[in-house]
Amino acid sequence: MIDQKNTALLSEQRTADLREAVELLFFSYRAFTRGPDRILEKRGLNRVHHRILYFVAREPGLSVNELLNVLDVSKQALHTPLRQLLSMNLVKNDKSKTDGRVRELRLTTAGKRLEARLTGTQLLQLDSVFTDAGSEAEEAWRKTMRLLATD
């Protein structure tokens, strides 16, 4: 675990470099979410809704419990946004054919269109950035993101 005592061991220059990295991560995430945020706002939705749409699109038939694990949120945190997506007919929640106790999530046609539009803005943005940065930079970025995701 990293704490203030451990960070005191970093040199001033290393601390400044790492603070810049933190700021770049904040600012790049803001830029990365700007396009989808504008689309979502027009529908009264937010980033949580996008994450739900994204992961249900990636794995149709995902159970609510599996989605909770993927998003790493509580049932309470998922309940309202999922209910909104269901009521807006963007997601459907059907009983599993193999286990009637399990509810499987799938995007409706409208949900698929919205998810494709939201994520499409980000795919184009990443494609442009990776093209400009080059394949070595892209692979270094992927490695960094994988390490951050498992920490």
State the pLDDT confidence band at 126, using cuts at 50, 70 and 90.
Answer: very high
In 3D, which of 151, 150, 23 has the Cα closest to residue 15?
23
Tell me the pLDDT of the chain averaged across its residues.
94
For residue 123, the surrounding DSSP H or E stretch is helix 109-133
The C-alpha atoms of residue 39 and residue 28 are separated, in whole angstroms, by 18
CA atoms of 20 and 40, how far apart (whole Å): 30
Task: Report yes or no: 50 and 40 within 8 Å, Cβ to Cβ.
Answer: yes
pLDDT digits (tens, 9 = 90+) for 84-117: 999 999 999 999 888 888 899 999 999 999 999 9
pLDDT at 76: 95
For residue 74, give the DSSP letter. -
Q: What is the mean pLDDT of residues 4-22?
A: 86
Domains of the chain, start order: 11-150 (1.10.10.10)
Q: Please state, in angstroms and rounded to a whole number, the distance separating the CA atoms of residues 119 and 125.
A: 10
Mean pLDDT lowest among 7-21, 41-55, 62-76, 119-133? 7-21
